[in-house]
Amino acid sequence: MIYLGEPVHHLIKECQDMQENEAAMAIVSGNEDIKIVIDGTEVLREVPTIAPAVAMFFGLTYALNIKYPKNLQYTLEFVQKFLMELGGKKMSPKIHGLNTQLYSQE
């Protein structure tokens, strides 16, 4: 996320950082609970750790055909195109550059 210019706090928020009724898409961590919030509504709770929460967050946005939020578009595109190999080979310039760098290191 940092390489793509998207701060981690855009995806993973601490419970105290969330304002009530905030219309956000995020993974919310706090009070020994990890949950996924979409458009201000809690859609999953009691996720065991951040790693499956990220996978579930991506899966929900992809399966529900939700447009990626602007502040997470490159991170979610990376997960979709690079990690999951979904949606063809066409990539934004940022993701293509990262893809090229990662494959040139092999």
Residue 2 domain flag: no
Residue 1 domain flag: no
Alpha-carbon gap, residue 48 to 95, rounded angstroms: 29
Least confident of 14-18, 28-32, 36-40, 49-53: 14-18
* Torsion angle, alpha carbons of 104, 92, 14, 39, to 10: -150
97 phi and psi angles, rounded to 5 deg: -60, -45
- Residue 85 structural domain: 8-104
33 phi and psi angles, rounded to 5 deg: -140, 140
Considering its fold, how many domains does the chain have in total? 1
- Could you read off the pLDDT of 28-40 as tens digits, one per residue? 998 788 999 988 8
Evaluate if residue 105 carries a pLDDT over 90. Answer: no
Residue 36 domain flag: yes
Largest CA distance in the chain: 46
Q: In 10 A of CB 6, how many CB atoms? A: 20
